[in-house]
Amino acid sequence: MLDPALLRGHLADTARRLATRGYTLDTAAFEAIEAERKRVQTETQELQNLRNTRSKAIGQAKAKGEDTTALMAEVVGIGDRLKANEQALAEVQERLAALSLGIPNLPHESVPEGSDESANAEQHRWGTPRAFDFAVKDHVELGAHKGWLDGDAGAKLSGARFTVLRGELARLHRALAQFMLDLHTQEHGYLECNVPLIVNADAMHGTGQLPKFEEDLFATEVGETRRYLIPTAEVSLTNIVRDEIVEADALPLRMAAHSLCFRAEAGSHGRDTRGMIRQHQFEKVELVSIAKPSESFDEHERMTRCAEVVLERLGLPYRRMLLCTGDMGFTATKTYDLEVWLPSQATYREISSCSNCVDFQARRMQARWRNPDTGKPELVHTLNGSGVAVGRALIAVMENYQNADGSITVPEALRRYMGGTERIA
Give the C-alpha separation, 40 to 27, whole Å: 20
Is 55 assigned a ligand-binding role in the annotation? no
Angle at 416 (CA atoms; ends 410, 418), nearest 5 degrees: 55
Is 120 assigned a ligand-binding role in the annotation? no
Q: Which of 242, 350, 378, 423 is catalytic?
A: 350
Q: Which of 353, 363, 364, 368 is catalytic?
A: 353
Q: Give which of 285, 261, 281, 310 is closest to 165, Cα–Cα.
A: 281
Is 364 assigned a ligand-binding role in the annotation? no
Is 232 assigned a ligand-binding role in the annotation? yes
Q: Residues near 296 by Cβ (< 8 Å), separated by ≥ 6?
A: 289, 356, 358, 381, 383
Is 289 assigned a ligand-binding role in the annotation? no
Angle at 391 (CA atoms; ends 388, 395), nearest 5 degrees: 105
Q: Which of 21, 263, 363, 368 is catalytic?
A: 263
With contact defined as beta carbons under 8 Å apart, do 236 and 196 qualify?
A: yes
Is 58 assigned a ligand-binding role in the annotation? no
268 classed as catalytic: no
Is 233 assigned a ligand-binding role in the annotation? yes
Is 226 assigned a ligand-binding role in the annotation? no
Q: Where are the beta strands (DSSP E) in 263-326?
A: 281-291, 318-322
What amino acid is encoded at 303 in this protein?
M
350 classed as catalytic: yes
> How many beta carbons lie within 10 A of that of residue 420, not counting itself?
8
Give the C-alpha separation, 291 to 310, whole Å: 23
What are the angstrom distances between the C-alpha of 210 and each of 89, 139, 198, 239, 357?
Answer: 24, 34, 14, 14, 16
Is 422 assigned a ligand-binding role in the annotation? no
Give the C-alpha separation, 361 to 359, whole Å: 6
What amino acid is encoded at 343 in this protein?
P
Rg (the chain; Cα; Å): 27
Sign of CA dihedral 390, 396, 399, 400: negative
370 classed as catalytic: no
Is 236 assigned a ligand-binding role in the annotation? no
Q: Which of 37, 171, 302, 392 is catalytic?
A: 392
What are the angstrom distances between the C-alpha of 35 and each of 4, 31, 100, 143, 281?
Answer: 14, 6, 15, 61, 46
Helix, strand counts (H, E) of the chain: 12, 18
> How many beta carbons lie within 10 A of that of residue 154, not counting itself?
20
With contact defined as beta carbons under 8 Å apart, do 93 and 39 qualify?
A: no
Is 371 assigned a ligand-binding role in the annotation? no
353 classed as catalytic: yes
With contact defined as beta carbons under 8 Å apart, do 209 and 262 qualify?
A: no
Which residue ranges are tagged as binding site? 232-234, 263-265, 286, 350-353, 384, 386
Which residue ranges are tagged as binding site for ATP? 263-265, 350-353
Which residue ranges are tagged as binding site for L-serine? 232-234, 263, 286, 384, 386
> Could you list the active site residues?
263, 278, 350, 353, 392
